[in-house]
Structure 1
């Protein structure tokens, strides 16, 4: 996939399927001249090149991504990708197992902190589902 326009379109489709239209629309509405190139870059590379590859399912990519973000302490991104699990198929049990790996390979404090964030994200998702019913 060498055409950057095709990579962007593929990336945007994948980004929307993982994060949801509402999230991507909010992010798009916040783009300014300052970060427009950055947003195009992450859409093309993270979403169009990596997340769109055939080697892993979206569920597997979701699990790996959450584990990496937890290990690196990227709090907002952890919560965002936990919310995205409703679109990727990664289950709470999947994420629980990933946190055990984070604890062993990145440290118990990183996993402990991420678990707090993940529990809060799941609680937020459950509350939102109740208000939708």
Structure 2
């Protein structure tokens, strides 16, 4: 069996976490301008870090949510809350991660992230997922 490339491993991990629809949509929007960036994140974030042994996807998901919330990256928080449907992180896991954000990054950052998570989880429940 041939060894997979970093890009292929990254794309497989990216799809397993974010879902085929999200990755297909991102790929369809890719242009010559951002193609190198897309390759970089697929190889670096997804092929190297997210594909490493040692932490589960659930654990990585919780860490990622806390970091994104602490940094105020709202769109990415929403995307990774949606991704918890694929990583095994539960609403209680999300809550616990965001409580850490409140203590270590500040209540305003956690407050915003809780609002985003609440909205995304309500959408998922409303769709019967």
Please, what TM-score do these two structures have when normalized by structure 1? 0.93
- 1:29 is matched with 28
Residue equivalent to 2:45: 46
Structure 1: runs of 5 or more not aligned: none
SS at structure 2 position matched to 1:129 = coil
SS at match of 1:54: coil
Paired residue secondary structure (2:128): helix
Q: Offset of 1:43 from its aligned partner?
A: 0.1
Aligned residues: 127
The CA deviation at 1:129 is: 2.3
TM-score (structure 2 length as normaliser): 0.95
Using the TM superposition, give the Cα deviation of residue 128 of structure 1 relative to its aligned residue in structure 2, in angstroms.
Answer: 2.3
Aligned pairs (5 A) from 1:48-127: 48-127=47-126
**Residue ranges of structure 2 left out of the alignment (5+ in a row):** none
The 2-side partners of 1:118 and 1:65 are apart by 13
In the aligned structure 2, how far is the partner of 1:56 from the partner of 1:111? 24
Moved over 6 A (4+): none
